[in-house]
Amino acid sequence: MKQFFGAFFGSIIGIVIATILAVLIIIGAVTASIGSTFKQDAVTITKPNSILKIVLNGTIIDREKEDPLAELRSLVPIGAGNEGMGLNSILKKINNATLDEKIKGIYLYCKDIDGGYAAIEEFRNALLNFKKSGKFIYAYAEAYGQKEYYLASTATKIFLNPQGAMEWKGLSMSLMFYKNAFDKLGLDMQVFRHGKFKSAVEPFIADKMSEANRLQSETFLNSIWNSMITGISESRTITTNDLNALANNLTIQFPEDALAAKLIDATVYEDEVLSELKKKTGITEKEKLNFILFDKYDFKSKKDVITTTDKIAVIYAEGSIESGEGGDDKIGSDQLAQAIKDARLDDKIKAIVLRVNSPGGSALASDVIWREVALAKKAKPTIVSMGNLAASGGYYISCAADRIFAQPNTITGSIGVFGLIPNLQKALQDKLGITIDTVNTNKHSDVGSTLRPVSKEEYNYIQTSVEKVYDVFTKRVAEGRNMPQSSVDSIGQGRVWSGADALKINLVDELGGLNDAIAYAAKKANLKNYKLTELPKRTNPLDKWLGKVEKDAETRIIQRNLGFTYPFLKQLQTVIQVKGVQTRMPFELIIE
């Protein structure tokens, strides 16, 4: 009886707590949505002689995510936390701060930034443009990683904590290989591919990089590094040779080393930086700095007051490519193709900018999206802006555009195809004592089964499909880029290129970011005054949150337990679960 009442009252208490939490969530969401107008009015009040404070902490994603529960998070631990800094918001706010006469400078507080180098490049270019306007940038950190320092190198002055640290060692990329583990498990991975550089399957059939894979990896990694040190060299007046020597000799170990190498301007504590900022803005030590927090900053210039109905659609394609609706980190061909179609048929939309940040995925889904891009190009200017990744399927959906923009450190190309079927028969039989017996109506009814090896006839059947997809892929690129198919094949074969190298071989047209692509689209459409509209349309953020809390919690627990191995195991899971022929990035890129 005690156990009964204990369980009964425990359930009642649980229901009450859940109800209270649900009410708080709803109140927070309603307050965030209904009260947003009043809140926006409050944050737009910027005092003269203000400084925009940007705390570099978290992941940079292409499109900012809405969080209706942001205000409630400080009261109740109900969600996943930081959803990331949206590059679209970053570029807009820094551009507005450049025009805002009340903003005198930017204070970069560098903590721990994560994101691809192309996104960081766009961020950095926006900061450089801000500084060109005659305003100042001060940067401070307790410790600089290489990504943080690359952004900080734009600053008028760079400060480092006297007891802090700075990393300067060059870039590295590691791949994890599973072949020996699979051999021990008795797992046989059956591979079908076209492209000598198509190394997505290498981790399953080898214990180290092939010479082709090592060549492409070294080439694009060095291209990214050279782009990075060239930018720092121009900002800090240090030669690229000296920057390489500092990395090769591990010269930068303590703050005084960074100061001696002229990578920073002073070793000081933050209170001393704040004193410097007061002097810079002409206020006394006793007065308070007029800081405007980046997430609260909302300024509308005269350029933002637009009366025209003409629009440019910015369509975001972020994540791996699959058939269906997709999700937060996946491109669904149904959803994206519909968004492009809607933009094509909307007479108010005069041009389209497709923002691609994808390692590829399903060949069929990529072709569905490609078709809509090709149709859009016939109707109105259609421009592609490549982000961190626009490789394999990401390039497939880009190649039909009128013009392609990429950053020097964008990862693109990877024009190649593969298929993968694991054979579990030996593993089940030898390790677990499980045997399989099958009944078919026809000779090859179970072709593609993971419970037995494919026959030679079946291998040729599947390989023919791979060759067919590769042929179509290279034809699409040849048509879109006005190149002979043989030339596409010679630079294809699954090889990955940096944006800087892709420009040399006609895979992209111009180096630049999202704003450059938008400006070009406006020019092509003869637009001087226009609005931007973002697609696909956002789903209700509250519905999305309620559906993803459990999944996010599970993901965080797995990430915490697996640490640095999580991305590799996630890649393993993704590749094993793929269906159909793939136009996918050859590996999980983790550049440090």
Identify the pLDDT of residue 279: 96
Tell me which residues are annotated as active site: 198, 392
Question: By the 8 A CB rule, do 227 and 500 touch?
Answer: yes
Quick one: which of 59, 116, 54, 121 has its CA closest to 86? 59
Identify the pLDDT of residue 10: 54
- In the three-class reduction of DSSP (H, G, I as helix; E, B as strand; rest coil), residue 302 is classed as helix
* Lowest model confidence (mean pLDDT) among 112-116, 128-132, 448-452, 554-558: 554-558
> Is 90 exceeded by the pLDDT of residue 358?
yes
Q: How far apart are CA 296 and CA 322, in angstroms?
A: 36
> Is 90 exceeded by the pLDDT of residue 553?
no
Q: Peptide bond before 48: cis, by omega within 30 degrees of 0?
A: no
> Is 70 exceeded by the pLDDT of residue 23?
no
Q: Identify the residue with better confidence: 427 or 200.
A: 427
Question: By the 8 A CB rule, do 134 and 98 touch?
Answer: no
Which of 302, 327, 342 is the last residue in one of the domains? 302
User: Do residue 26 and residue 83 come from a single domain?
Assistant: no
Instruction: With cut-offs at 50, 70 and 90, classify the pLDDT of residue 586.
Output: low
Q: How far apart are CA 446 and CA 451, in angstroms?
A: 9
Q: How far apart are CA 167 and CA 255, in angstroms?
A: 10
List own/partner pairs for 205-214 with CB under 8 A and 24 or more apart: 205/179, 206/177, 206/179, 207/177, 207/179, 207/180, 208/177, 209/175, 212/495, 213/586
Enclosing domain of residue 93: 44-168+251-302
The letter for the amino acid at 96 is N
Residue 504 CB burial class (10 angstroms; 0-12, 13-18, ≥19): exposed
Q: Identify the residue with better confidence: 39 or 46.
A: 46
pLDDT tens digits for range 449-485: 989 999 999 999 999 999 999 999 999 999 999 999 9
* Lowest model confidence (mean pLDDT) among 114-128, 429-443, 577-591: 577-591
User: Do residue 567 and residue 428 come from a single domain?
Assistant: yes
> Is 60 exceeded by the pLDDT of residue 368?
yes
Instruction: Tell whether 203 is covered by a domain.
Output: no
The single-letter DSSP state of residue 65 is P
Quick one: which of 537, 572, 46, 69 has its CA closest to 292? 46
Identify the pLDDT of residue 363: 93
Identify the pLDDT of residue 211: 87
Structure tokens that stand for 80 in this block: 């996943």
CA 3 to chain centre: 52
User: Do residue 325 and residue 417 come from a single domain?
Assistant: yes
User: Do residue 264 and residue 409 come from a single domain?
Assistant: no
Instruction: Tell whether 380 is covered by a domain.
Output: yes
Mean pLDDT of 561-586: 61
How many domains does one find in the chain? 3
Identify the pLDDT of residue 461: 93
Instruction: With cut-offs at 50, 70 and 90, classify the pLDDT of residue 542.
Output: low
CATH number at residue 480: 3.90.226.10
Quick one: which of 338, 461, 323 has its CA closest to 393? 323
Identify the pLDDT of residue 419: 84
pLDDT tens digits for range 257-269: 999 999 999 999 9
User: Do residue 293 and residue 385 come from a single domain?
Assistant: no
**DSSP-assigned beta bridge partners for residue 422:** 189
What one-character-per-residue DSSP string does 505-541 give? Answer: TTS-SEE--HHHHHHHHHHHTT-SS-EEEEESPPPPH
Structure tokens that stand for 161 in this block: 């904590």
User: Do residue 381 and residue 517 come from a single domain?
Assistant: yes
User: Do residue 296 and residue 279 come from a single domain?
Assistant: yes
> Is 70 exceeded by the pLDDT of residue 438?
yes
Find which of 27-41, 334-348, 451-465 is predicted with most confidence, using mean pLDDT.
Answer: 334-348
User: Do residue 267 and residue 330 come from a single domain?
Assistant: no
Identify the pLDDT of residue 526: 97
* Lowest model confidence (mean pLDDT) among 36-50, 297-311, 506-520: 36-50
Identify the pLDDT of residue 77: 37
Instruction: Tell whether 236 is covered by a domain.
Output: no
In the chain, the percentage of residues whose pLDDT exceeds 90 is: 63
User: Do residue 23 and residue 100 come from a single domain?
Assistant: no
User: Do residue 267 and residue 332 come from a single domain?
Assistant: no
> Is 70 exceeded by the pLDDT of residue 545?
no
Query: Structure pTM?
Result: 0.84
* Lowest model confidence (mean pLDDT) among 164-168, 201-205, 491-495, 534-538: 201-205
In the chain, the percentage of residues whose pLDDT exceeds 70 is: 79
Mean pLDDT of 528-542: 83
pLDDT tens digits for range 190-215: 888 876 655 667 888 889 988 888 88
Identify the pLDDT of residue 44: 47
Q: How many residues does the chain have?
A: 592
Instruction: Tell whether 530 is covered by a domain.
Output: yes
Instruction: Tell whether 148 is covered by a domain.
Output: yes
Instruction: Tell whether 351 is covered by a domain.
Output: yes
* Lowest model confidence (mean pLDDT) among 232-236, 309-313, 575-579: 575-579
Backbone phi, then psi, for 44, in 5-degree steps? -80, -10
User: Do residue 391 and residue 266 come from a single domain?
Assistant: no
User: Do residue 24 and residue 128 come from a single domain?
Assistant: no
Instruction: Tell whether 592 is covered by a domain.
Output: no
Quick one: which of 111, 124, 136 has its CA closest to 234? 124
pLDDT tens digits for range 48-99: 999 999 999 988 999 987 655 555 444 443 333 445 789 999 999 999 999 9
Instruction: Tell whether 207 is covered by a domain.
Output: no
> Is 60 exceeded by the pLDDT of residue 26?
no
